[in-house]
Amino acid sequence: MQRDVPRFRDLSDFLRFIESRGQLRRIREKVSVVHEITEIHRRVLEAHGPALLFEQPVRADGNASEMPLLTNLFGTVERIAWGMGITPDRLGELGALMAELRAPRPPHGIRDAFEKIPLARAALATRPRTRPAAPVQDCVAMGPDVDLARLPVQICWPGEPAPLITWPLVITVPPESATADQEENVGVYRMQVLGRDRAIIRWLAHRGGARHHQQWKAIGRDMPVAIVIGADPATILAAVLPLPETLSELRFSGILRGERPDLAPCLTVPLAIPAEAEIVIEGFVSATETAPEGPYGDHTGYYNSVEQFPVMRVTAITSRRQPIYLSTFTGRPPDEPSRIGEALNQLFVPLIRQQFPEVTDCWLPPEACSYRIAIAAIKKRYPGQARRLMLGLWSMLPQFSYTKLLIVVDDDIDIRDWRAVMWAVSTRSDSSRDLVTLTDTPIDYLDFASPKSGLGGKLGIDATTKIPPETDREWGVPLAMDPAVVARVDAMWANLGLSGMPAPVLT
């Protein structure tokens, strides 16, 4: 895929790029990682402000850290798109590429075959290269020298029990590939620091890391793991993209960068890590030991409940000579996950249309914790089509399995305009006919509104225009102004003495 911005080999490359565009602010004052950075970050993010590099963060132990802390890196859709090598207006093209990778179509004729050559080249770019040495291993701590307290790990919200690593890229493999061709998974799972060489990894049961851990537990062995903190933006963002299960995140980062990723072998575990990363924590996740994790502030805007999760024993910490610690907070939207959700929303549409061509647009409002409410617009052709789409979306993508309110409207509705959506709901749906309810379906176990942990209901609202036999009544005709009148009023607007007001348009 053609790039709009330079290639970023590491995090520093990206910071130089965004700083040249006024999108990075350096904070030279001493600021505590305990609550203060969260509050500064929260205010700047809400204002769509720049990334923040705290040059003298004060650690939880009260000592100033020599390691700068970076936050709000992906606090705007623009910086997220830049991190993937494109401008925001081309996010849909990236979504089309991902849809093609998920289910490639055979070429129809010579011309179509030539048009697919860039896709084939992109696939070749996913093959990693292995380097014998890496900048991320310039500094090495093992044995008694391992100490997680040296990292400026945040305590984001009052009442949290310990520092929490919030932007870790957790690399795991299943046991059968630990010494062969590695089928690695990269996921973002928060980590509670327990001590100098121990931490808790918290993951949901359906995530790749948890699945690998269950496989290692089944054979009675601890699971090797590598934790990457800070990397080039393509590698970071690949970890949160809705990729096909057959395509690893590290490989896809090569497509985003337009070059093969460079990996290096870990020093104490049989895994490979991005050679240009900032910090890597190596170790083993216990097959038997767990510890109570939490409570921590979560993307729902609530503290999660305390639960048992597996403990990791750290065997090595490696880093660059002057590493940058990447961090964030999660809380009630807006936060960085919800901003990333805004950008990823545009990637979902081609994936959805691949399965349901009638879908013209889909929107997951970020204020609804990114995925709990969805609105879809369709070109309706037959009765019952909205219901079919609801059932399909709830079962198609993992991101929609937790969506508990789904509204389907016609394609004349701007689904990003809540007023228009509510107008469609109030004038095109009837509660005795157009509600679809499901019970005992998978729900985010952090959703305290559900009657049971991890199990709850879903509601669909068919707010489309009804066609027989959905209704026996003659359907009304929506108001719409004559386009010629709109054009004439536009031309005279400046002369009407209303120049200080926006020019409203009825469509």
Which of 197, 150, 84 has its CA nearest to residue 319?
150
Distance, CA of 303 to CA of 294 (rounded, Å): 8
CA dihedral 209, 11, 193, 155 (to 10 degrees): -120
Neighbours of 91 (CB within 10 A): 22
CA dihedral 138, 139, 142, 146 (to 10 degrees): -150
Q: Locate tokens 């985003």: which residue?
A: 256
Query: What SS3 state is found at 57?
Result: strand
Residues for the chain: how many in total?
Answer: 507
Query: What SS3 state is found at 53?
Result: strand
Q: Name residues whose C-beta falls within 8 Å of residue 496's C-beta, 6 or more positions apart in sequence.
A: none
CA 173 to chain centre: 21
Instruction: Give the strand order in the sheet containing 129-130.
Output: 129-130, 262-265, 272-274
CA 319 to chain centre: 25
Show the tokens assigned to 9. Answer: 């080999």
Q: Locate tokens 């993937």: which residue?
A: 84
- Contact assessment for residue 371 and residue 397, using Cβ atoms and an 8 Å cutoff: no
Distance, CA of 152 to CA of 140 (rounded, Å): 17
- Contact assessment for residue 412 and residue 477, using Cβ atoms and an 8 Å cutoff: no
Q: Which of 298, 335, 434, 462 is catalytic?
A: 298
Secondary structure, 3-state, 287-317 = EEEEEEECCCECCCCCECCCEEEEEEEEEEE
298 is annotated as an active-site residue:
yes
CA 5 to chain centre: 21
Distance, CA of 230 to CA of 250 (rounded, Å): 14
Q: 354-367 as b/e, with b when 16 or more CB fall inside 10 Å? A: bebebbbbbbbbbe
Q: Locate tokens 């509510």: which residue?
A: 422
Torsion angles phi and psi, residue 230, rounded to 5: 85, 120
Catalytic residue ranges: 298
